[in-house]
Amino acid sequence: MSKNYLKLFKDELEKIKGQRPKLLLHVCCGPCSEYPLVLLKEYFQITIYYGNPNIYPLDEYDKRLSELEHYLDILDSDIKLVIPSYDNDYQKELMKFGPMKEGGRRCAYCYARRMKEAYLYAQKESYDYFTTVMSISNHKNADYINRIGEDLYKNYGTVKYLYADLKKEGGIDKNRELNKINRLYEQDYCGCIFTYQVHASKKEERLSKLSIHKLQDRDKNALIAIFKDEEVSKTYMVAPLKDQKAEDALFSKIICNPRRFDGIYLEDRLIGFINEVESKDAAIEIGYVIAPEYQRQGYMSKALELYMQELNKQGYKVIVAAAFKENVPSIKVMERCGMKKIDKEEDIMYQGKMHHCLYYAKRYD
């Protein structure tokens, strides 16, 4: 029978209140660490152990590490980060299990392998406690995880294991809310080569339903809803749409403007757009938006990639786009599409605040 891991967790926090002992916290990615770090930093001196050689491919490992580092910058705390070397042979270890449903023996082995590595580091460096954030996920078996931690403490015995089931009592909902605020890259597969293959197949199927073409009159309500979205209005410069008259005027201006303004569609649903800012000779600057509920799923990167290919076919040799410095997701979209930062930068006043704008470009031979 499973123990009440949440009660054990809360009892331990009550016991050490005000002491702030040293905790080595295994973290698999930025999004899974948001609420756990907010909660645990009040009780512990935290060092994160980013030991995740299960993540495939290497650039995905680096991407998740980058998001974790970005989140630590947001927290602006005294949390430290330890990054062990990436084990290129780890995927070979998993091959003996082969393809199987996520959550089975292969996953249990993976939890145990990573947690043991982190625990032994905690022991070597004389930490007081060890735990992992993995129990925050609905896709992770908290019983497996806590039994592994319990066995590590029994077998090696110097660093106390902190039982946890961080998804309980609304923990997972708090984590999701923080992710909406912080807008971290949220991966849609666990990590290993087997989950990557399933993810790649599903992603290819999803993205195959994407198309880009001119707006239709029937798209008005969907487009206005995108413009009025609070998250969109923070980073895409548009005047406030205070009434129906303002909405009608904006849509009419877009439809009648000779400059490009094309919708991004998932099947028949408008989910974003790409527009021309200005063009001269063989150079063009564009802007783009994807509705928040479709962000971090590869849609904007794919749409921008397709759009730039089409612009190049039409004779454009330089394609430029820009983003506020704080709009990290947009910058990453440009980088994924092969755009490079250029010397042009400027400060822009928008919504009563000064924003530093960075420019990126892709050049074709």
Backbone CA torsion sign across 93, 99, 100, 103: positive
Which residues have CB under 8 Å from 280's CB, separation 6+? none
- Cα gap 147→163, rounded to integer Å: 9
Per-residue pLDDT at 1: 57
Tokens of 109: 């082995």
**Distances 44 to 11, 307, 328 between C-alpha atoms, Å:** 15, 49, 29
- In terms of Cα–Cα distance, which of 264, 172, 187 is closest to 222? 264
Reading the chain (365 residues) residue by residue, the pLDDT tens digits are 578 999 999 999 999 999 999 999 999 999 999 999 999 999 999 999 999 999 999 999 999 999 999 999 999 999 999 999 999 888 888 888 878 777 788 999 999 999 999 999 999 999 999 999 999 998 899 999 999 999 999 999 899 999 999 999 999 999 999 988 888 888 888 999 889 998 888 888 989 999 999 999 999 999 999 999 998 999 999 889 999 999 999 999 999 999 999 999 999 999 999 999 999 999 999 999 999 989 888 899 999 999 999 999 999 999 999 999 999 889 999 999 999 999 999 999 999 999 999 999 999 98
Per-residue pLDDT at 341: 97
| Model pTM above 0.75 | no
Tokens of 202: 């599903």
Q: Tokens 């491919």 map to which residue?
A: 57
- In terms of Cα–Cα distance, which of 155, 113, 120 is closest to 134? 113
DSSP letters, 182-197, are: H-----SS-SSHHHHH
Pair 41, 77: CB distance under 8 Å: yes
Q: Specify the CATH number of the domain 5-203.
A: 3.40.50.620
- Cα gap 90→95, rounded to integer Å: 9
- Where exactly are the structural domains of the chain? 5-203, 209-363
> Is CATH 3.40.630.30 what the domain over 209-363 is classified as, yes or no?
yes
**How buried is 281 (Cβ within 10 angstroms: 0-12 exposed, 13-18 middle, 19+ buried)?**
exposed
